[in-house]
Amino acid sequence: MRQSFGLLSRRMYTTWEFRKKLREKGISEGLVEEALAFLGNNGYLDDRTYVSAYIEEKRRIAPRGYFAFYQELKRRGIPAALLEELRSMYPLEVEVEDAKRLLSLWKVVGSERGRIWRRLLGRGFSCEAIERAILDLPGSGD
Protein backbone atom coordinates (compact mmCIF):
# COMPACT_ATOMS: atom_id res chain seq x y z
CA MET A 1 0.00 0.00 0.00
CA ARG A 2 2.88 2.35 0.76
CA GLN A 3 4.11 1.91 -2.82
CA SER A 4 0.66 2.93 -4.09
CA PHE A 5 0.70 6.18 -2.13
CA GLY A 6 4.21 6.85 -3.38
CA LEU A 7 3.04 6.61 -6.98
CA LEU A 8 -0.01 8.78 -6.34
CA SER A 9 2.07 11.44 -4.64
CA ARG A 10 3.86 12.11 -7.94
CA ARG A 11 0.86 12.52 -10.25
CA MET A 12 -2.76 11.57 -10.86
CA TYR A 13 -3.57 8.27 -12.54
CA THR A 14 -6.63 6.74 -14.09
CA THR A 15 -7.65 3.43 -12.55
CA TRP A 16 -6.46 1.66 -15.71
CA GLU A 17 -3.06 3.42 -15.67
CA PHE A 18 -2.60 2.69 -11.98
CA ARG A 19 -3.49 -0.99 -12.39
CA LYS A 20 -0.98 -1.23 -15.25
CA LYS A 21 1.73 0.52 -13.20
CA LEU A 22 1.28 -1.83 -10.23
CA ARG A 23 1.35 -4.88 -12.50
CA GLU A 24 4.58 -3.63 -14.10
CA LYS A 25 6.10 -3.45 -10.63
CA GLY A 26 5.35 -7.15 -10.22
CA ILE A 27 2.61 -6.80 -7.63
CA SER A 28 0.27 -9.79 -7.52
CA GLU A 29 -3.20 -9.44 -9.03
CA GLY A 30 -4.85 -9.89 -5.63
CA LEU A 31 -2.86 -7.07 -4.08
CA VAL A 32 -3.44 -4.87 -7.11
CA GLU A 33 -7.21 -5.30 -6.78
CA GLU A 34 -7.03 -4.77 -3.03
CA ALA A 35 -5.05 -1.54 -3.48
CA LEU A 36 -7.42 -0.29 -6.19
CA ALA A 37 -10.45 -0.99 -4.02
CA PHE A 38 -8.93 0.76 -1.01
CA LEU A 39 -7.76 3.78 -3.00
CA GLY A 40 -11.06 4.07 -4.86
CA ASN A 41 -13.22 3.71 -1.76
CA ASN A 42 -11.22 6.38 0.04
CA GLY A 43 -11.18 8.91 -2.80
CA TYR A 44 -7.50 8.61 -3.72
CA LEU A 45 -8.21 7.13 -7.16
CA ASP A 46 -11.26 8.43 -9.01
CA ASP A 47 -11.60 8.46 -12.80
CA ARG A 48 -14.29 11.19 -12.78
CA THR A 49 -12.04 13.49 -10.74
CA TYR A 50 -9.14 12.60 -13.04
CA VAL A 51 -11.16 13.57 -16.14
CA SER A 52 -12.17 16.93 -14.65
CA ALA A 53 -8.63 17.77 -13.57
CA TYR A 54 -7.20 16.60 -16.91
CA ILE A 55 -9.56 18.80 -18.91
CA GLU A 56 -8.92 21.86 -16.75
CA GLU A 57 -5.14 21.46 -16.89
CA LYS A 58 -5.03 20.87 -20.64
CA ARG A 59 -7.43 23.76 -21.30
CA ARG A 60 -5.09 26.07 -19.40
CA ILE A 61 -1.84 24.82 -20.95
CA ALA A 62 -2.74 23.85 -24.52
CA PRO A 63 -6.41 24.17 -25.46
CA ARG A 64 -7.90 21.41 -27.55
CA GLY A 65 -11.37 20.34 -28.50
CA TYR A 66 -13.87 17.71 -27.46
CA PHE A 67 -12.67 15.01 -29.86
CA ALA A 68 -9.03 15.40 -28.79
CA PHE A 69 -10.03 15.05 -25.13
CA TYR A 70 -12.16 12.03 -25.95
CA GLN A 71 -9.30 10.22 -27.71
CA GLU A 72 -6.68 11.16 -25.13
CA LEU A 73 -8.85 9.99 -22.24
CA LYS A 74 -9.79 6.80 -24.07
CA ARG A 75 -6.07 6.01 -24.49
CA ARG A 76 -5.65 6.56 -20.75
CA GLY A 77 -8.21 3.85 -20.04
CA ILE A 78 -11.20 5.95 -19.04
CA PRO A 79 -14.24 3.64 -19.13
CA ALA A 80 -16.72 4.04 -22.01
CA ALA A 81 -19.55 4.98 -19.64
CA LEU A 82 -17.56 7.93 -18.33
CA LEU A 83 -16.45 8.93 -21.85
CA GLU A 84 -20.15 9.15 -22.76
CA GLU A 85 -20.47 11.85 -20.09
CA LEU A 86 -17.57 13.86 -21.45
CA ARG A 87 -19.74 16.42 -23.25
CA SER A 88 -21.44 17.32 -19.98
CA MET A 89 -18.01 17.71 -18.36
CA TYR A 90 -16.71 19.78 -21.30
CA PRO A 91 -19.80 21.60 -22.64
CA LEU A 92 -20.00 22.94 -26.17
CA GLU A 93 -20.06 26.52 -24.85
CA VAL A 94 -16.72 25.98 -23.11
CA GLU A 95 -15.27 24.35 -26.23
CA VAL A 96 -16.35 27.40 -28.27
CA GLU A 97 -14.66 29.71 -25.76
CA ASP A 98 -11.46 27.67 -26.01
CA ALA A 99 -11.58 27.87 -29.81
CA LYS A 100 -12.10 31.65 -29.62
CA ARG A 101 -9.18 31.96 -27.24
CA LEU A 102 -6.92 30.12 -29.69
CA LEU A 103 -8.12 32.25 -32.59
CA SER A 104 -7.35 35.35 -30.56
CA LEU A 105 -3.87 34.05 -29.77
CA TRP A 106 -3.29 33.18 -33.42
CA LYS A 107 -4.52 36.66 -34.43
CA VAL A 108 -6.65 35.36 -37.29
CA VAL A 109 -9.52 37.03 -39.11
CA GLY A 110 -12.58 35.57 -40.78
CA SER A 111 -11.05 35.77 -44.24
CA GLU A 112 -8.73 32.91 -43.20
CA ARG A 113 -11.68 30.54 -42.80
CA GLY A 114 -10.13 27.48 -44.48
CA ARG A 115 -6.92 27.71 -42.49
CA ILE A 116 -8.87 28.22 -39.27
CA TRP A 117 -10.95 25.10 -39.89
CA ARG A 118 -7.88 22.97 -40.55
CA ARG A 119 -6.02 24.21 -37.48
CA LEU A 120 -8.95 23.78 -35.10
CA LEU A 121 -9.93 20.39 -36.55
CA GLY A 122 -6.33 19.34 -36.03
CA ARG A 123 -6.71 20.20 -32.35
CA GLY A 124 -9.84 18.08 -32.05
CA PHE A 125 -12.49 20.80 -32.01
CA SER A 126 -15.99 19.86 -33.09
CA CYS A 127 -17.40 21.38 -36.29
CA GLU A 128 -20.12 23.16 -34.33
CA ALA A 129 -17.59 24.74 -31.97
CA ILE A 130 -15.44 25.88 -34.90
CA GLU A 131 -18.39 27.39 -36.73
CA ARG A 132 -19.56 29.28 -33.65
CA ALA A 133 -16.06 30.59 -32.93
CA ILE A 134 -15.61 31.77 -36.52
CA LEU A 135 -18.90 33.70 -36.46
CA ASP A 136 -17.42 36.13 -33.93
CA LEU A 137 -14.26 36.85 -35.91
CA PRO A 138 -13.78 40.26 -37.54
CA GLY A 139 -14.15 39.93 -41.29
CA SER A 140 -15.97 36.62 -41.13
CA GLY A 141 -18.69 38.02 -43.40
CA ASP A 142 -21.47 36.19 -41.56
Q: Which 3 state secondary structure label does DSSP give 85?
A: coil
Record the pTM: 0.85
Domain definitions of the chain by residue range: 1-45, 54-142
Q: Which fold has domain 1-45?
A: Arc Repressor Mutant, subunit A (1.10.10)
Average confidence score pLDDT of the chain:
89
CA 83 to chain centre: 10
pLDDT of residue 19: 93
91-107 pLDDT, tens per residue? 999 999 999 999 988 88
On whether the CB atoms of residues 87 and 66 are closer than 8 A, the answer is yes
The residue length of the chain stands at: 142
Write the pLDDT tens digit of every residue in 29-51: 999 999 899 999 998 899 999 99
Rounded to whole angstroms, the Cα distance separating 12 from 71 reads 18
CA distance 91 to 1: 37
**Burial code of 23-37, b = ≥16 C-beta within 10 A, e = fewer?**
eeeebeeeebeebbe
Q: Is the pLDDT of residue 54 over 50?
A: yes
Residue 18: C-alpha distances to residues 50, 99, 103 (Å): 12, 32, 36
